[in-house]
Amino acid sequence: MNLIPQKEIRQTSLTKDQEIDALHAIEILQKKFGDSWNLARAANWAAKSYSEKDWEDIKVFDAIELFFAWKKKGGAAKNYLDKYRWRLGYHRDKDGKTFAKPGSFAALDKNLDDVTVTELDRFIWDESWDVSNSTRRDSWKHLSHFYDWAANRKPKKCSHNPVLDIAKPPSNELDPEAFTVEQAEKILIAASNCFEGELVPYFALALFGGLRPQEITGNEKIKPLTWSTDNKNGNFRWDKDAEGNEKVSIRLRGKKAWRRTVLLPDNCVAWIKPYAKKDGLICPDNFLKKFDVVRCAAGFRISKARLYSVDKGGIDGLDEPDSKSRPEWIQDGCRHSALSYKLAIIDDIPAVCSWAGNSQRTFKSNYEALVTKVEAEKYWEIMP
């Protein structure tokens, strides 16, 4: 016999525990949905929605370690991996021991599948993070790519990719900008005065050769640029014209328009020649940290946090790096400058696009900053 709320006595096949469970379930449904849901409807919905767990539980940090081991085994370039580690907060100390940066994605102490959309949203859209939409978009892409990998492993590391539920930051839609002649000169002088000039070739190739950052540093699909003074290896080709003037070109190997040979202008050659080596990478160790130091020394605004963990002894211009009186760094400004000042001199868009490896449509929307011919003449006369 069973006692129900109306005090009506009747027979039932439910046990006492089953009756308590049923009444509790009905109470939950009524509070949430009123009378529109009954126990049978809830059971049918649960049966249709349920799926067997087909992933293994793994901590966020451990999953990241497996991800980078997989990337490295697949031949991903060091510079690409370094950028990815920075995005996820997965670092190595001087002894090679890995650790998670406090407050980063890698520092989440929970299983990967238990990370919430709210937590991930913070790593992309946190308003206290003073960065451009391009940087936020990169963070979205890196996290999404990582979760795609995790959700498609065998066995899977998580049930799905939650980043797809987060709004993707828009592309920057600002008018193209270029550094002024004075700013470009300050960048190269700062590079000369920092780290024994290790970054001079990078900035000279970007400002005067128009190379994309990835074409110099390398990424997952492109090998980093390497030195060569004997024309046997590396990317450089050192020649002379009919009058005996030195002519240097760089042979680039990459996808689509990135595959080209770039003839370097005379001032670019003058800046890089003192640092040319027989072999080795153009970009030095700890490039990203040193890159930020040079930008700060050149007078641009840099977050204090970006200047940690690098020896800055004897370098001037690093006081109050995040002062609002400092100008903002122009996103992809080195390439913007090279292409814009090139166009101002030769006034031939197809020729500039061929030199730069761009379509005319991309060039017009991204790189044609408004600079005058007089400014351009001064720009190409910037010499060591």
Residue 112 has pLDDT above 90, yes or no: yes
Span of 188-192, 290-294, 348-352, 372-376 with lowest mean pLDDT = 348-352
Q: Report residue 339: phi and psi, to 5°.
A: -75, -40
The Cα 267–Cα 372 span in angstroms is 19
Span of 47-51, 165-169, 199-203, 340-344 with lowest mean pLDDT = 47-51
Residue 9 has pLDDT above 90, yes or no: no
Candidates 107, 104, 101, 144; CA nearest to 122 is 104
Candidates 256, 258, 248, 253; CA nearest to 205 is 248
The Cα 164–Cα 147 span in angstroms is 9
User: 243 to each of 55, 101, 144, 240, 273, how far by Cα in Å?
Assistant: 68, 56, 54, 8, 19
Confidence of residue 223 (pLDDT cuts 50, 70, 90): confident
Confidence of residue 1 (pLDDT cuts 50, 70, 90): very low
> What percent of the chain shows pLDDT beyond 90?
38
Residue 144 has pLDDT above 80, yes or no: yes
Q: Report residue 348: phi and psi, to 5°.
A: -145, 95
Residue pLDDT, tens place only, 259-279: 788 889 999 999 999 999 888
The alpha carbon of residue 270 and the mean position of all alpha carbons in its chain are separated, in whole angstroms, by 31
The Cα 358–Cα 350 span in angstroms is 9
Residue 121 has pLDDT above 80, yes or no: yes
Residue 360 has pLDDT above 90, yes or no: no
Residue 255 has pLDDT above 70, yes or no: no
The Cα 260–Cα 334 span in angstroms is 19
Residue pLDDT, tens place only, 166-182: 999 887 655 678 899 99
Q: What is the mean pLDDT of residues 226-238?
A: 83
- Looking at the DSSP bridge assignments, the partners of residue 90 are 100
The Cα 135–Cα 119 span in angstroms is 18
Q: What angle do CA 107, 135, 196 make, to 5 degrees?
A: 90
Span of 96-100, 131-135, 316-320 with lowest mean pLDDT = 131-135
How, if at all, do strands 236-240 and 90-92 pair? unpaired
Helix (H) or strand (E) run with residue 92 in it = strand 90-92
> Hey, what are 119's tokens?
């937590």
* Among the four given CATH numbers 3.30.2310, 1.10.3470, 1.10.443, 1.10.10, the one describing domain 181-379: 1.10.443
More confident residue, 277 or 5: 277
Question: By the 8 A CB rule, do 142 and 41 touch?
Answer: no
> What percent of the chain shows pLDDT beyond 70?
89
Running DSSP on this structure, what letter comes out for residue 55? B
**In 3-state terms, what secondary structure has residue 184?**
helix
Question: By the 8 A CB rule, do 252 and 235 touch?
Answer: yes
Candidates 280, 285, 269; CA nearest to 225 is 280
Query: Which residues, including other chains, have CB under 8 Å from residue 216's CB and lie 6 or more apart?
Result: 202, 205, 206, 224, 225, 282, 283
pTM of this prediction?
A: 0.61
CATH 1.10.443 spans which residues of the chain? 181-379
Question: By the 8 A CB rule, do 281 and 232 touch?
Answer: no
**In 3-state terms, what secondary structure has residue 249?**
strand
Residue pLDDT, tens place only, 12-37: 787 888 888 888 888 887 887 877 78
Q: What is the CA radius of gyration of the chain?
A: 29
Question: By the 8 A CB rule, do 212 and 339 touch?
Answer: no
Could you list the beta-strand ranges (E) of 111-187: none
**pLDDT at position 12, please?**
77
